[in-house]
Amino acid sequence: MSHVGLGWRSPHYQAVLERREPLAFLEVHSENFFAEGGATMEVLRQGREAYDISLHGVGLALGSAAGLDPWHLDQLARLVEQVQPVRVSDHASFARAPLSPGLLPVHGADLLPVAFTPAALDVMVSNVQQVQDRLRRPILVENLSAYVRWTTSTLSEAEFLNELTRRSGCGLLLDVNNLVVNALNTAEADPVAAACAVVDAVDLAAVGEIHLAGYNDEGVLVIDDHGCRVHEPVWQVYAHALARFGRVPTLIEWDTDVPLLDVLLDEVRRAESVADAVSKAQREAA
Amino acid sequence: MTQAHGLEQTEASSAAEALSQMSFLAAVLSAQSPQQLPTGMAALPGPRAQAQVLSGLRAYRANGLAVAHRALMAAYPSVAAMIGEEAMQVLARDLWWHAPPTLGDLARWGGGLAAWLASFEPLAAYPWLPDCARLDWAVHCAATLADVPQGVEDLHLLAEVDPAQLSLVLVPGMVQVHSLWPLAELRQAHLVAEPDPEVIAQLLSLDRPQASVTLVWRQGWQTRVDTVTSAEAQFMQGLAEGQSLAQALEGAQDTDFDFQSWLLRALGEAWLSRAQHR
């Protein structure tokens, strides 16, 4: 039984439904299915008949000091009720804030990093708890790739995430690609070792899913664009993560210049073979 | 530390956090390219990022414009086909800076494009664009509505009840888009694989403009678009406003409206939801 799922995007709506490839789950962006009906919801209904669905949000803005948008939470709650997903997740980011004091919040439509401070932690814990209370289930929160840093941070990323999971009861969606992108952008001498150190620092029981994707070196910065195959350093960190966490559900994400389905399935098979190799090595060592 | 003092400190920290986030987001969404990072932020420690301190902020700003462009391309396919990707990029950028999203679902952003186009000087020579944008947006919004059940409830009442005591209820979400341009035909002509310039020129010829009404409605999970006559539009508007069948017919009596023909079409196109006593 595979533990690997696929990020299901519009170019492959039809092909996935027709081919019924063996996949552990399909993951969709929750916001793409906020409609009350229509063609996309029909696609999701058919996908749900054949696969477990994981709902992965990009817009809850869990770290926003301006608070959650009740409309967004209503839409998500309706979708969760409808789909009964195996997992619900979003990011440890903010996006909602007013542009000037006294104005209503706008939404930046991006995954903006929060400062790793006790105050930002309080905000995120409160928002995550609000989501979980409404959905009546724990969610997973994903670590970010960040292109700026807050000088006000007083906690490490792992400390922040561990406190978040302990206090709110949420789980962690560990994006291994993001760990490597951050290590590359901060010019760690050994990016793989730096990413593995974060893997080792997060709470063992908190990790409920792993994301794998490709990144793009744009010269000044390495951008987490989900636009190519998973890079070798990411596979190495993934093997390390599996050795620590076991065979947790894993997602192949590809959102930019989405290739043929067979390319994505090839990445799925590779993730499975990495897991097999880790299991074999552990058996032999035992 | 007293409890009250601790609470004050927590509130002050939260306020500072909110202020920091506001400054960051304002820098990401500002029309003016920032010359420095917001207070409390720094470039990543890598030598490449340090050499270009604003690179991280620029990455977020660029991503915002890219998602804005994708959102408008998806919501306005016929406008995009008419003016091309580059012009859509400019419009997306301007609209993004002028009216950023308020919701975390980008499919809901961009409803202001028609109004923006109406005052957008570089495209003033294409006066049909704002109306085409209104139609694109109506179709885009209709596609998210709840599925419409098939069939007409209690249609038999049509033969049994006095028209003054009868309502014909249209399917939910039906929208009329009025224009001096043949919007449905223009949309169709631009959404084919290879639009025919001659057909489009014919549709846009200046001696042609006349009032047209394009109807957008849902049939099951599909979104439908078609032209209706002014008389049909007037009659259906009456029904949509809750008039009895008799009142709606009276409103259309000075036109060439023919109820029997309309009813046949309405049943074929699934415009009707139910008939009911008033």
Please judge whether A110 and B104 are an interchain contact, meaning their C-beta atoms are less than 8 angstroms apart.
no
Query: Which amino acid type is present at position A8?
Result: W
Report pTM. 0.94
CA distance A208 to chain B (A): 25
Helix or strand (DSSP H, E) at A194: helix A191-201
**Residue with token string 């309080």:** A122
Measured CA distances, B9 to A101, A151, A233, B41, B231 (Å): 20, 20, 43, 22, 67
Looking at residue A61, its pLDDT comes to: 98
Predicted confidence at residue B186, as pLDDT, reads 96
* Chain B residues within 8 A of A70 when measuring between CB atoms: none
With contact defined as beta carbons under 8 Å apart, do A249 and A209 qualify?
yes
Give ∠ CA A167-A79-B170 in degrees, rounded to 5.
150
Interface TM-score (ipTM) > 0.90: yes
| Residue range B73-85, pLDDT digits in tens | 999 999 999 999 9
Across the interface, do B104 and A42 touch by the CB < 8 Å criterion? no
Distance, CA of A181 to CA of A219 (rounded, Å) = 13
Say what the pLDDT of residue B1 is. 52
A-B CB pairs within 8 A amount to 189
Chain A nearest C-alpha distance from B104 (Å): 5
User: Contact B149/B115 with Cβ under 8 angstroms?
Assistant: no
Which one of B22, B40, B60 has the shortest CB-CB distance to A151?
B40
pLDDT digits (tens, 9 = 90+) for A205-256: 999 999 999 999 998 899 999 999 999 999 999 999 999 999 999 999 999 9
What is the predicted pLDDT for the residue at A55? Answer: 98
Closest approach of A106 to chain B, Cα-based (Å): 4
Angle, helices B259-269/B230-240, rounded to nearest 10 degrees: 70
For A218, name the nearest residue in chain B, comparing CA atoms only: B59
Q: Which of the residues A148, A157, A224 would you substitute to probe the B interface, choosing the one with the greatest number of B C-beta atoms within 10 Å?
A: A148
- For residue A286, the model assigns a pLDDT of 86
pLDDT at A131 over 90: yes
Give the per-residue pLDDT at B264: 96
Shortest distance between the Cα of A186 and any Cα of chain B, in A, equals 4
Contacts of A120 in chain B (CB under 8 A): 17
Residue A16's domain spans which residues?
A: 4-285
Instruction: Determine the residue among A107, A131, A218 to mutate to test chain B binding: the one whose Cβ has the most chain B Cβ atoms within 10 Å.
Output: A107
d(CA A223, CA A181): 7
Tell me whether residues A150 and B40 touch, CB distance under 8 A: yes
In a 10 Å sphere around its CB, with 0-12 CB exposed, 13-18 middle and 19+ buried, how is residue B207 labelled? exposed
What is the spatial distance between Cα B89 and Cα B73, in angstroms, rounded to a whole number? 9
> CA distances (Å), B130 to each of B15, B17, B101, B123, in order?
42, 41, 20, 10
Is there a contact between A220 and B64 if contact means CB atoms under 8 Å apart?
no
CA–CA dist A218, A221 (Å, integer) = 6
Give residue limits of the domains in chain B.
42-141, 148-277
Distance from CA of B266 to the nearest CA of A (A): 21
Task: Give the residue with greater pLDDT, B49 vs A19.
Answer: A19
Q: What is the CATH number of the domain that holds A37?
A: 3.20.20.150
From B233's Cα to the closest Cα of chain A, the distance in A is: 24
B144 → chain A, closest CA residue: A35
Instruction: Find the mean pLDDT for residues A124-146.
Output: 98
Please tell me which residue of chain A has the smallest CA distance to B15: A65
Low-confidence ranges of chain B (pLDDT < 50): none
- Please tell me the predicted confidence (pLDDT) of residue B13: 78
Q: In chain B, what residues touch A220 (CB-CB under 8 Å)?
A: 48-49, 51-52, 55
Answer whether A63's CB lies under 8 Å from A92's CB: yes
Q: How far is CA A87 from the centre of its chain?
A: 11
* Contact indicator for A142, A89 with CB cutoff of 8 Å: yes
User: Residue B49: what pLDDT?
Assistant: 80
> Is residue A79's pLDDT more than 80?
yes
Domain total in chain A: 1
